Amino acid sequence: MNIVKVKSVESKVKRVRKLMESAGNQIGVVHFIKRSDGKKRRMSYRLHVYKPTYSKAPTGKGAKKAKKVNAAKNLMTVFDTNTILYKDGRMVGRGAYKCVPLDSVIRVAVGGEIYKFVS
């Protein structure tokens, strides 16, 4: 496990984004604290998912606007590979787009390496 010491929020956000983007099309794992309720969350994610089978990809003006808002709020949109989708009470597939708060990331696992962030 690699321990990464960060001095400021900006440097942490920059380092976490770079590590998460290094996963590319491979699956990575991120641990973070949710902003809504303060609980710890573990998420398996992928980037560069353009045409998922069951989930609708963000497109158009809304996607461009969301990208600017995410950058301002230190968020990164990823494809969560563990979310189960239901339709009419039965499971139809897996995967959904979610946002990860980069400033509250605790740990990232990418390419067989684990990075733990401490202040």
Report field, pTM of the whole predicted structure over 0.85: no
Cβ atoms 76, 70 nearer than 8 A: yes
Number of domains in the chain: 1
Which residues have a Cβ under 8 Å from the Cβ of 69 and sit 6 or more positions away? 75
Q: Bridge partners of 34?
A: none
- Taking each continuous run of H as one helix and of E as one strand, the counts in the chain are 2, 7
Domain that holds residue 93: 2-118
Supply the pLDDT for residue 93: 82
- CA-CA distance, 39 to 13, in Å (whole number)? 19
State pLDDT tens for residues 4-43.
888 898 999 999 999 999 988 899 999 999 998 999 999 9
- CA-CA distance, 28 to 82, in Å (whole number)? 12
Supply the pLDDT for residue 62: 66
